[in-house]
Structure 1
């Protein structure tokens, strides 16, 4: 039986997808063509982190919902293997991103990006699911530790995934466990508050008839596919435009 999807979650994720596409379009113009549409440092620092935070919080909420629905007809071992299987699948997609970026970007290739992080988080979140509201406190603990580690640099790289980055480390996408897993835990807490036992615990007006809601919900439902496809499409459009522009001048 297909599990019910919550429209508001798909809608929020869809907004994040659109924000991601906008940022990557602006970023690609700068990275490949040195065209900087926005020069404000605050945009370059905060906007991508805001987008990532939305995705990660929603991921935490969805982990909680999936867990609460699973415990109704599955034992804990089966639930863990369900999370393990999903985590490995997402992490494997992250490894694919690592290979692709290593081939084409070399020095800035992605070692532990958002997909690596979400894959690992799907697995290590499992023991935290029983703590419910305590995850709000645990979440801030992870964030504070991560902010502390951000100020430091190390002579080794084997704990890069935790947030212990070596000197002069550079990557186009980097989401270590500290601090970002803190947002997963806060998302689990929010899931416990707003979707207790895997069901919506608040009333929401019927908005599914609005076309823009359907559009954003569609983007949200297909966020992983869009994540993979949007970057090569953006780059292709940019270079097609550059190659065709002289013909119209």
Structure 2
């Protein structure tokens, strides 16, 4: 028996990054920054106050959030498809959880009536724990769970049911207002679909093919993938940067 055969899951080598997934995450980041720029422009009076809540912007924001959660589910599967690598998993979970708590504290200090008590980072953290139960689940079971997760809030509304605590479940009739709210139901659904996609891609040989070193990888490819490889830092910094730039513009040029 070789050392590799007796290695603990935590000792397994990290899988090779897949550029197309990092690029997809970069595109999602761009969409998020665009939406928050519109929100901030409205907040500073450069656009009508309700711009981000009208037209196609609410749907756009949901698509962006769903893409982040789907990519997070896909990444969880790809990182641990050969066995749970406990140390990297816990390190990543700790980083995401700490970032989520930082967002809660910062938004509570700025706007306590609308602070982020369960936003997208909170949702990714909780989904990453729930997702462990689906690492070895058949695709049909994971997809079925995603469908139930997506449908449950609507069913509760139809039946007149409400689970007020914890609000993070997303099953309350009148949840506490928040500037960013992605509760477990229905937002676990895209995460699970991402995991199902990961398993399908593994079964068809897609991911091993994309992981293979590509001699013709260009600087543009690496540049496009870079934001997606640093998504958590960019997520935390982009709003302070946008608000700081707009505040500076107002101070210099007026509103």
TM-score bracket, shorter-length normalisation: 0.7 to 0.9
Matched-pair contact (CA < 8 Å) for 1:21–1:230: yes
Alpha-carbon distance in 2 for matches of 1:115, 1:39: 21
Q: Which residue of 1 aligns with 2:133?
A: 127
Aligned residue in 2 for 1:209: 218
Partner of 2:6: none
Q: How many residues are treated as equivalent by the alignment?
A: 238
User: Are residues 170 and 150 of structure 1, via their aligned partners in 2, closer, same or farther at CA, if it must alter by over 3 Å?
Assistant: farther
TM-score by length of 1: 0.84
Tell me if structure 1 keeps the 8 A contact 2:38–2:52: no
Match of 2:179 among 169, 172, 180: 172
Q: Retained in 1: the 8 A contact 2:116–2:180?
A: yes
Match of 1:189 in 2: 196
CA shift for structure 1 position 124: 1.3
Structure 1 residue 11 corresponds to structure 2 residue 23 = yes
Change (3 A) 1:161 1:168: closer
1:103 equivalenced with 2:112 (yes/no)? no
Structure 2 unaligned spans of 5+: 1-12
Q: Aligned-residue CA RMSD in angstroms? A: 2.9
TM-score, reference length from structure 2: 0.82
Please give the alpha-carbon distance, in whole angstroms, between the structure 1 residues aligned to 2:182 and 2:24. Answer: 21
CA contact (8 A) 1:23 1:48 kept: yes
The partner residue of 1:23 within 35, 39, 47 is: 35
Q: State whether residues 64 and 198 of structure 1, in contact with CA within 8 Å, keep that contact through their aligned partners in structure 2.
A: no
* SS of the residue 2:200 aligns to: helix
| Aligned counterparts of 1:116 and 1:68: Cα–Cα separation in 2 | 23
Find the counterpart in structure 1 of residue 236 from structure 2.
228
1:63 paired with 2:76, answer: yes
Quote the Cα distance in structure 2 between the aligned partners of 1:39 and 1:51. Answer: 14
